[in-house]
Amino acid sequence: MHVPSSQQGSKLAALIHSKAGFYSFVFLLLILALFSIGVSVSLGQVDIPLGQTYRILLYKITGFIIGDPSGVVSGSYTDIIWSIRFPRVLLALLVGAGLSLCGMVMQATVQNPLADPYILGISSGASLGATFAILVGFGAVGMFAQYSLAFGAFIGAFGASLLVLTLAGLGGKMTSVKLVLSGMVINALCLAFSNFIVYFANNAEGIRTVTFWTMGSLATATWSKLPLISIIVVLAILFFLIQTRILNTMLVGDEAAVTLGINLSSFRKFYLLATALITGVIVASCGMIGFVGLIIPHIVRGMVGSDHRRLLPITVLIGAIFLVWTDVLARTIVPSVELPIGIITAMIGAPLFMYMLVKKGYSFGGK
């Protein structure tokens, strides 16, 4: 489906309208992502030369050594990079891509530019599910701990999303204001129940873990955490890449979809389930990281337009790069102190969210 030219949004959109321009832009983003990975892995309490970082990563990934093998095959730098920093950077890439994808899909699904897992309380629902799994003991034992935690977060995210959409749809047509207010209500409700569980739980270690969910952090990234979130996020990206026609159809409304023979209601339900699954797995891995799903699709849409054939891959790449650099900022902005990454994303995203609320004449999908 072709999105009208009035939605292309900017000069950059015109430049990448051709296949050559689009692939060139994606290639530049991939180069930037590789550079961001190297810089992020190099920076920390122990700074590692960038060239050494790439040599170690090249050896660990391919087995190929450039130059002197000393300090590459083994050593303190190798241990820091491969065991601590590289898993964290990969987690940042996956979380940034996943949250940006969720925000973009939700905005198209409900035809609202303010839709986002954090704003609508879905992340809080996932946090409630994770809190219940941790402190009540919902099967969180042994090798199944990560999966039971992710399942609890998914149930919480899905339940919260249903409540938000139901509440926003009461009394007539769903509007931006009703959606945001419903999200605020569900967010407060989920946080209240989470605090209630924590208050009565006799589990000091669990309480510290729950505190981690509320602020979001990548500090606990390990290789063992990556397989589940990698599978979910990568499969979701691949799935929605073949759903761009449906996402474009959602922007023009249900009446136009009927003429095209498309039942948007069933797609909305399935997309809701998919975004809840992604959000739940992400929250189970690193806690609540807000505003990424709101600001990244909004910025990219202003750059390249609303056509999801181009919007989706660029949103995913920029979201991944954004969270890598946000994590760098969280680790380095205060010497010898690591801030939760959720604090940084909120400091960046909240002002932009206020700007979106008060901006006059904001258009979305031609509506």
> How does pLDDT run across 243-256, given as a tens digit for each residue?
999 999 988 877 77
What whole-number distance in Å separates Cα of residue 338 and Cα of residue 82?
Answer: 20
Q: What is the mean pLDDT of residues 216-234?
A: 90
Instruction: Compute the C-alpha angle 325/329/335, nearest 5°.
Output: 150
Fold of 5-10+87-358: ABC transporter involved in vitamin B12 uptake, BtuC (1.10.3470)
Give which of 272, 273, 277, 251 is closest to 262, Cα–Cα: 251
Domain-by-domain residue ranges, the chain?
5-10+87-358
What whole-number distance in Å separates Cα of residue 83 and Cα of residue 168?
Answer: 45
Model confidence band, residue 320 (pLDDT cutoffs 50, 70, 90)? very high
Give which of 271, 232, 298 is closest to 105, Cα–Cα: 271
Buried b / exposed e over 162-196, threshold 16 CB at 10 Å, is bbbbebbeeeeebebebbbebbeebbebbbebbee
Q: What is the mean pLDDT of residues 261-282?
A: 86
User: In the numeric block, which tokens belong to residue 288?
Assistant: 């609540």
What whole-number distance in Å separates Cα of residue 70 and Cα of residue 80?
Answer: 15
Model confidence band, residue 12 (pLDDT cutoffs 50, 70, 90)? low
Alpha carbon 79 to chain centroid, angstroms: 28
Q: What is the mean pLDDT of residues 310-336?
A: 93
Alpha carbon of 138 to those of 128, 150, 276, 340: distances in Å?
Answer: 12, 11, 19, 26
pLDDT of residue 98: 96
Average pLDDT over the chain, rounded to an integer: 83
Strand, helix or coil for residue 334:
strand
Alpha carbon 15 to chain centroid, angstroms: 27
Alpha carbon of 266 to those of 11, 250, 258, 269, 348: distances in Å?
Answer: 36, 12, 13, 5, 35
* pLDDT value at 366 more than 50: no
